């Protein structure tokens, strides 16, 4: 049950974040099937691992929304089809993943600094902690993707 209009606004923002996490999960799962190249198997495993991590994020968002007394059955968009890149090119997939992760880092930082103020205690403090955890995970993904892309760019420059 929603407590007021600010609370409803925050829940809607969380539902948008949940959709983003589902988009990430589907992107990484699809990338694990479509990636090609010499080290395809290693890249497949990387994308599968990321898909599993995103599935965990989806579950964490579900749990947090249930904790805020959100009716997930009524709130779930059953016709949700994520908009993401499908490609065979490793570098293109990694660049898309990096941009997705950068987007959620910015979103989660905004949730912490601005949007949680729509809530009252103790939900406000709980959501700050929740989003700090999500922000940390996504920021680690950004840093990891940057390093992978840096190594790919360096190896392609040496060989071309």
CATH assignment of the domain containing 32: 1.20.1260.10
Least confident span in 4-13, 75-84, 124-133: 75-84
Please name the residues in contact with 27: beta carbons below 8 A apart, sequence gap of 6 or more: 82, 84, 85, 96, 97, 100
Q: What is the mean pLDDT of the chain?
A: 90
Domains of the chain: total = 1
**Domain encompassing residue 37:** 5-159
Instruction: Return the higher-pLDDT residue of 83 and 53.
Output: 53
pLDDT confidence of residue 16: 92
Is 156's pLDDT higher than 80? Answer: no
- pTM of the complete model: 0.83
Span 112-127, average pLDDT: 95
- Please name the residues in contact with 77: beta carbons below 8 A apart, sequence gap of 6 or more: 15, 19
């Amino acid at each position: 049950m929603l407590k007021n209009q600010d609370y409803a606004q925050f829940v809607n923002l969380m539902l948008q974040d949940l959709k983003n996490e589902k988009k990430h999960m589907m992107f990484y799962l699809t990338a694990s099937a479509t990636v090609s190249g010499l080290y395809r198997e290693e890249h497949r495993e990387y994308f599968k691992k990321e898909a599993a991590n995103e599935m965990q994020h989806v579950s964490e968002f579900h749990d947090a929304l249930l904790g805020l007394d959100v009716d997930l059955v009524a709130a779930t968009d059953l016709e949700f089809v994520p908009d993401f890149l499908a490609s065979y090119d490793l570098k293109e997939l990694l660049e898309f993943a990096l941009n997705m992760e950068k987007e959620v880092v910015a979103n989660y930082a905004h949730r912490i600094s601005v949007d949680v103020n729509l809530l009252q205690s103790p939900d406000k403090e709980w959501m700050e902690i929740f989003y700090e955890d999500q922000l940390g995970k996504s920021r680690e993904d950004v840093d990891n993707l940057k390093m992978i892309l840096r190594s790919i760019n360096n190896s392609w420059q040496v060989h071309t």
